Structure 1
Amino acid sequence: MDQFHDIRPYNDEEVVEVLHNLVETPDFINTIIGFRFAKWPTFLRAPLVFGVKFALKRQIAKISNVHDFQSIVANYMERMIKTTTSNVEYRGIEKLDKGTGYLFLSNHRDIAMDPAFVNYGLYLAGLNTVRIAIGDNLLRRPFVSDLMRLNKSFIVKRSANGIREMMAAFGQLSSYITHSLVKDQCNIWIAQKEGRAKDGLDQTDPAIIKMFFMSQKKEKKPFSEAMANLKVVPVSISYEYDPCAFDKARELHQKSTTGAYEKAEFEDIDSIKNGIVGQKGKVVVTFGDVIADGFETPEEFVAEVDRQIITNYAIHSTNEAALALQQGGSSTDSAFSSYLERCPDNLRETVLAMYANPLKQQQKYLNK
């Protein structure tokens, strides 16, 4: 019996059937039309549906396994990089060995683009792409779940109710991650905490580390040995410009002024879209060092992950300009000044903090 059937990515032999079902899913087709042809008149809806389905059927006829699907995704990534970034730089990727399964524990700025940029770097370097952890809160529409699982995503059951159900979900997740890394020698990507760091402060949730340990703890392995088995590599992802910055600031501002923020039903899907198509400037992905044996508690392990993520974070001129403006100085980055002119006045300080915080956090570490 497949103990991970409800959370794992799709296997090669499942790909063709899932793709054919997707093409016949009205919600999927309508989403593509809304995304690509939003300004077209409604009376063209029927021919658009026919045309989109016809084009998709031609494309999926070339796909028979996960690698074929990811090759198509890589083509879209290449196009996206050309149109929405000025440059993408990978640091530390030469330290990774082929055939070794790593647990990439990453800071989190963008729902889809963080793992996508890590994946693309591995793909270009000839290394195995990652199995991506994704919360079930993002999978309210079945076609989104199918697309993610085709792209090697596995599901984190954040919506589990009650202690018993949550512990069962965490136990299954821990076992799947350990199985992927140790048995299958596959790479894993997972964020250092639930949700994006909307304020620009990167901090690892100790609960994530405790979840990693659960499956090996049952086997009576010491914490230090168990975590070394997982070959955890902290990853720092930095964007010169965050396409979702103003939306994040709006959420933070509303929380600070009213004490609450209620997401729209498909707000996360909009964030995914905006993150893909929005301008990012320069993007830097830095792979840290494998965390070896010697950390005896989750808290010690968290401290090492945070140290690597924060000190390896690539600082951009936007971070420096934001800190200068926060401190009463002036910005020497004219592009960032123009960017701020588009920011609503009531969100300006929140946006400045979002860009300044990574630099301030790094300076604290380097000045210790």
Structure 2
Amino acid sequence: MTRQLTPDTFDKIRPYHDDEVPGVLDRLAHDREFLDAITRYRLPRLSRHAPWLARRLAGFGLQRQMRGIASVGDFQDHIAHYMRRMLANTTDAFEVAGLEALDPQRAYLFIGNHRDIALDPAFVNYALYQAGRSTVRIAIGDNLLQKPFVTDLMRLNKSFIVPRSARGKRAMLAAYQTLSNYIRHSISVDNQPVWLAQREGRAKNGIDRSDAAIIKMLTMARRQEDKNADFAEAIRELRLVPVSISYEYDPCDLQKARELHAVHTAGRYEKVEFEDIRSIVAGITGYKGRIKLTFGTPLESEFASPDAVAAEIDRQVLSGYRLFPSHQMALEASGLAPDLVDLSEVTDADRRRFDERLAGVPDELRDWWLAQYANPVLNRAGRANSND
């Protein structure tokens, strides 16, 4: 039986509409926690000694910056300014490949590898924005939406909510059915592109592998409509396009190494409060070196199963992944596969930069830090062993 979709079916998970933007911005300008978060980074001394004054100044500044923003498009124009400044200050190059081969009039479901909480989809969006194309609706887990102001900011930027905190099989099934319907509706009805990670959570160990369960979720809406629906056709209608992003350096590499080490030695890792938000800030402000973003080709073959789709996504992600000197030098330093090391593009400047970063890594985290950069080389050769 076809599920009846009403105008409010997706209200709890969808991005904000244009007519909601002014009200949300006004709410943010008076949100005490949001203003405190701003002042801690922009006015740290004043926020400690006169928090009320710092908060008031931040509110005035925010209202001034947001003046004239009346739609999601206006908000993203504003973000583009900060993206350009971030690229200039924290990267050496940003290269995009493959986008020119995709129809600018069609919406695609971009499914990519996942290294940075916020920047992976942000760079996809920036590439689309620069090319004059529609930006993506971004899938974001509700575990990241720890504060109302974070939810507001994400939904202003065309994010929709993935229900990771639903409890019980029935609630989880209903939540994922709604999510599947929303993604399908975005592509097939609204003709709006979507970005989704190939797996839940970042690949902290540098091994990019798709989760077939995500593919099953994506086809739930079609199966709900027609239990005899052809699987390959359900995949084709979503216009899946694998996307590969490669960072020469990850601003969160040390934190990821610390987490991997803790899981290996203690069996678990406990995040501190707002750690994900701090990771977002670190990713935005930290040095990234060169970045390569590669758009693959739509999945239009006769795929027989979710595993087959996941395998094709992996193939395209790995083939489009740029291996930088940092990856080769990490593999060399690890000693894991000398036969795969290629130092032909490594310059003296590359070596100095790598050695300086490695020197700042505590001895107990060294192997975990190196693995993040070495594993993409091993993974492409089919030799990576997951330790995430």
Within the candidate set 309, 315, 320, 1:307 is matched to 315
Residue identity matched to 1:33: T
- For the Cα contact (< 8 Å) 2:136–2:193, is it kept in 1? yes
Dislocated runs of 4+, deviation >3 Å: 328-332
1:43 CA drift (Å): 2.9
Within the candidate set 66, 72, 92, 1:60 is matched to 66
Within the candidate set 283, 294, 297, 1:289 is matched to 297
Paired residue for 2:24? 18
Residue identity matched to 1:337: D
Paired residue for 1:363? 381
Residue identity matched to 1:348: R
- For the Cα contact (< 8 Å) 1:225–1:293, is it kept in 2? no
Deviates more, 1:125-134 or 1:32-41: 32-41
- For the Cα contact (< 8 Å) 2:39–2:47, is it kept in 1? no
1:293 CA drift (Å): 3.1
Alignment of 1:265 with 2:312, yes or no, is: no
1:99 CA drift (Å): 2.0
SS in 2 for 1:199: coil
Task: Give the aligned length.
Answer: 365
Structure 2 distance, partners of 1:42, 1:110, is 30
Alignment of 1:354 with 2:372, yes or no, is: yes
- For the Cα contact (< 8 Å) 2:219–2:231, is it kept in 1? yes
Task: State the Cα deviation string for residues 13-71 of structure 1 (Å, max 9, x = none).
Answer: 00000100110110010000012122446334333222211111122221000000000
Deviates more, 1:356-365 or 1:252-261: 356-365
Structure 1 distance, partners of 2:262, 2:57, is 42
Structure 1 distance, partners of 2:44, 2:55, is 13
Residue identity matched to 2:267: G
Residue identity matched to 1:114: D
Structure 2 distance, partners of 1:356, 1:185, is 39
Paired residue for 2:363? 345
Structure 2 distance, partners of 1:279, 1:39, is 25
Paired residue for 2:154? 148
Residue identity matched to 2:361: C
Residue identity matched to 1:281: G
Structure 2 distance, partners of 1:296, 1:15, is 43
Alignment of 1:112 with 2:118, yes or no, is: yes
Task: State the Cα deviation string for residues 110-145 of structure 1 (Å, max 9, x = none).
Answer: 000100011000000111000000000000100000
1:338 CA drift (Å): 1.1
Structure 1 distance, partners of 2:376, 2:276, is 24
Q: How has the CA–CA distance of structure 1 residues 140 and 125 changed in structure 2, closer, same or farther, with 3 Å as cutoff? A: same
- For the Cα contact (< 8 Å) 1:227–1:293, is it kept in 2? no
Alignment of 1:122 with 2:128, yes or no, is: yes
- For the Cα contact (< 8 Å) 1:223–1:297, is it kept in 2? yes
Residue identity matched to 1:38: P
SS in 2 for 1:189: strand
Structure 1 distance, partners of 2:150, 2:70, is 19
Deviates more, 1:215-224 or 1:251-260: 215-224
Provide the TM-score with structure 2 as the length reference.
0.92
- For the Cα contact (< 8 Å) 1:122–1:129, is it kept in 2? yes
Residue identity matched to 1:350: W
Structure 2 distance, partners of 1:24, 1:40, is 18
- For the Cα contact (< 8 Å) 2:40–2:47, is it kept in 1? no
Residue identity matched to 1:91: A
Structure 2 distance, partners of 1:94, 1:149, is 28
Q: Which runs of 5+ in 2 are unaligned?
A: 1-6, 384-388
Identity of aligned residues (%): 49
- For the Cα contact (< 8 Å) 2:113–2:198, is it kept in 1? yes
Structure 2 distance, partners of 1:51, 1:334, is 42
1:363 CA drift (Å): 2.4
SS in 2 for 1:197: coil
1:360 CA drift (Å): 1.0
Q: How has the CA–CA distance of structure 1 residues 240 and 39 changed in structure 2, closer, same or farther, with 3 Å as cutoff? A: farther
SS in 1 for 2:204: coil
Structure 2 distance, partners of 1:335, 1:39, is 32
Structure 1 distance, partners of 2:233, 2:290, is 38
- For the Cα contact (< 8 Å) 1:132–1:153, is it kept in 2? yes
Give the RMSD, CA atoms, in angstroms: 1.4
- For the Cα contact (< 8 Å) 2:138–2:158, is it kept in 1? yes
Structure 1 distance, partners of 2:238, 2:253, is 33
- For the Cα contact (< 8 Å) 1:105–1:189, is it kept in 2? yes
Paired residue for 1:316? 324
SS in 1 for 2:170: helix
SS in 2 for 1:218: helix
